[in-house]
Chain A
Amino acid sequence: MRLITRRCFLAFLSILPLAVDAKKPTWRQILLQNPASQPDWKTLINQLIGPYSSVVNVGLACQGSSLAIENSPWSEQYIKQLTKSVNTMENDEITTFRDAYRSRIKHDFQEGGILRVNGYILSRTEVEICRWVATTIDTN
């Protein structure tokens, strides 16, 4: 007996975001692709670090955890330069920023600069940057 047709299923999918929104409003941003409060930052974070929503989630998890860490000089410097050049950044600069970030993470893992956030073992730098995105960028 074919109780469900393709049309039924599509209808189900169409109401899915509403159901999701009711259960966990943060998903609305992902599913409906709501623009972030500062679109430039969102695009940039996507390119430099990773999916914006994941970065914010990691940052929020760090904030909510008992991790009491101060930003390393490297992260401070990185954030400073990023803030300075956000509106004027060209493609080759994005690549430079991204490579520097990735290379620093690799260095962290090599040297044991790791932290545990919600069970995940992350590089200290990525924790610091994600926390900065969640607390400074996403809340503005």
Chain B
Amino acid sequence: MIIDVNEIESGKSIQCDLCIIGAGAAGITLAREFDDSGLNVWLLESGGFDFEQDTQDLYKGTSTGRNYYPLDRTRLRYLGGTTNHWTGVCRPLDEIDFEKRDWIKHSGWPFDKKHLLPWYKKAQIVCQLDDFIYDVSHWLPQDQQPSPFIKGNIKAIASQHSPPTRFGKVYRQQIQASCNITCCLHANVTHLQVNKTASRLQRLRIETLDGILINIQPQFTVLAGGSIENVRLLLASNDIEPMGLGNSHDLVGRFFMEHLVLTGGGALLTTKGRLPSYWYHPQYRSRRRSPTPTLLLDNELQSREETGNYSAILHSPKRNRAVRSMRYLETSMRKGREIDDLWEHLGNIIVDIDDVASNLYYRSTDNSKEPIEPVLYQQWEQVPNPDSRIVLSSERDRLGLPRVTLDWRLSEIDRHTLVAGQQAMAREVGQLGIGRLRIDTEATEAMPDAVHGGYHQLGMTRMHEFPDRGVVNADCRLHSIDNLYIAGGSVFPTAGSSNPTLTVVALALRLADHLKEKLQ
């Protein structure tokens, strides 16, 4: 069922088997796994069914490092969490992302990709995707040539598209109808109370913006409030452990990672027919669920060049305004349609007469030789950096909880990955005779300002088998607290170059299986 915390009498104490803090992709996935289990499960959501500004403001924070988005704009605080503005791109992490790479300090997951595969396959269904097949050749339209990227250092893989699944809407009905899951809205967890030895979580303090206060005493708790919120709650619950919970090695909040993104920093100059059109053609791009071919550096090149993981997508070539205006006038006249904004279109044509002339020239000579320039979208891995971190600030939110300050820092290898990735792409397309790569944004000396984050906040409560190198163990349990677990992107030890939601869901499903065993 779904209730509002305001329906509960203030001061009440509730006992349950499992309490999940946060109803986003990870929290809802976990809760659904316990539907009909007979266990008393509470799913706490800070927001309501829809966006509310007062609640969203609880996310506010500051940045001191590399320029980052306002922290309250990157996530959403209501049922379904950040999946409410998710674009839906899904791809599992690559094998190499799980490996210990000698050239990347702090790399390596406690398990390999093969271990995670059963949960990846289940996550595929949760995210409403097609079969768990990421081989690009499987998804090719029948009328298209095979991918040219077969040998060499660039490999092709498919990225799938979720509808996208808005977890709060798609799974609301199931949660509403559940007999054993109680989803409690407007329930803000403001404190995690542990025992005197800080080895066991005893109760959670829940507060509303209207002043209602209740306690929950769960047998097990999962923090699934989003990477930054997980950190904030651990650090702010410092009555027994002055450094914050699970932070005896000063690791909570460190290793903040983003996917580094550069849109339009280059283009591929080619001609029709040299590259199969599904690689860039708007017809394929507009089919939202059609997988997008994605280019990656192979393991050998990453190892040889000592780079992080790097991926690139070719977007539809953009015609400039003048050519669009010319095409519009031409089509309107041919079809006898009325012409709107005639003078504006003529103005566009005159201003960029070079491009119009070039376009006419190619069309009048040989249509197949018209140059096309698909735009490059690059997304790559930020390697773990302990100095890139979240700390508590002196400012407090309406509930009295300290706000956070982000100090986002990149490493030299992050810049090197971009340069090496672009070079490898350029060499591959040149060697295959596909065309020539143009690099518009230089990264030879410093990371360009145009490089931004992909709205993927990862790390900060990283997973590692040893407590001095990770906040949670391989089961996603805090090393120091028996009954407190973490779900979400904050447990990622490394980020890879894949969009993280599918992995977040897979890890949540894996955690659910672990907790089922514990709760039996």
Contacts and interface: CB of A to CB of B under 8 A. Distances in A.
Interface in B285-337: 329-330, 332-334, 336
Contacts of B436: 120-122
B364 to A, nearest CB: 9
Interface stretch (A24-32, A72-80, A84-92): A24-32
Interface in B408-452: 422-423, 426-428, 430-431, 433, 436-440
A30 B148 CA distance: 32
B360 interface: yes
Contacts of A118: 438
Contact of A27 (B333, B354, B423): B354
B431 A110 contact: yes
Interface in A104-128: 105-106, 108-110, 112, 114, 116, 118-123
Interface in A15-39: 16-17, 19-20, 23-24, 27, 30-31
Contacts of A27: 354, 357-358
B269 to A, nearest CB: 7
Contacts of B140: none
B interface residue count range (under 10 / 10 to 19 / 20 to 34 / 35 or more): 20 to 34
A114 B428 CA distance: 12
A17 B361 CA distance: 10
Nearest to A121: B426
Given A9-B333, A17-B357, A109 B338 contact: no
A5 B433 CA distance: 43
A80 to B, nearest CB: 25
A115 B440 CA distance: 14
B10 to A, nearest CB: 64
Contacts of B427: 109-110, 112, 114, 121
A13 to B, nearest CB: 7
Given A4-B339, A109-B431, A121 B357 contact: no
Given A20-B353, A106-B431, A119 B339 contact: no
B336 A2 contact: yes
Contacts of B430: 105-106, 108-109, 114, 121-123
B356 interface: yes
Contacts of A16: 353, 356-357, 360
* Highest count of chain A CB atoms <10 Å: which of B333, B339, B358: B333
A119 to B, nearest CB: 5
A121 B437 contact: yes
B329 A9 contact: yes
B354 A120 contact: no
A23 B333 contact: no
Given A27-B357, A121-B423, A2 B439 contact: no
Contacts of A109: 426-428, 430-431
A29 B358 CA distance: 12
A31 B334 CA distance: 24
A123 B428 CA distance: 12
A30 B338 contact: no
Interface residues of A, number: 33
Contact of B360 (A2, A13, A119): A13
Given A30-B361, A114-B427, A120 B338 contact: no
A16 B350 CA distance: 9
Contacts of B334: 6
B342 interface: yes
A1 B338 contact: yes
B423 A114 contact: yes
A94 B28 CA distance: 67
Contacts of B342: 3-4
B378 to A, nearest CB: 14
Contacts of B358: 27, 30
A126 to B, nearest CB: 9
Contacts of B422: 121
A85 to B, nearest CB: 25
A119 B353 contact: no
Contact of B361 (A3, A31, A105): A31
Interface in B26-60: none
Interface string B341-369: 01000000010011011101100000001
A123 B430 CA distance: 8
Nearest to A9: B333
Contact of A23 (B266, B354, B431): B354
Contacts of A112: 427
Given A5-B333, A20-B357, A121-B423, 8 more contacts: A16-B353, A30-B358, A51-B369, A106-B431, A108-B430, A119-B440, A120-B436, A121-B426
10 contacts: A4-B332, A6-B334, A16-B356, A20-B353, A20-B354, A24-B354, A27-B358, A106-B431, A106-B433, A116-B439
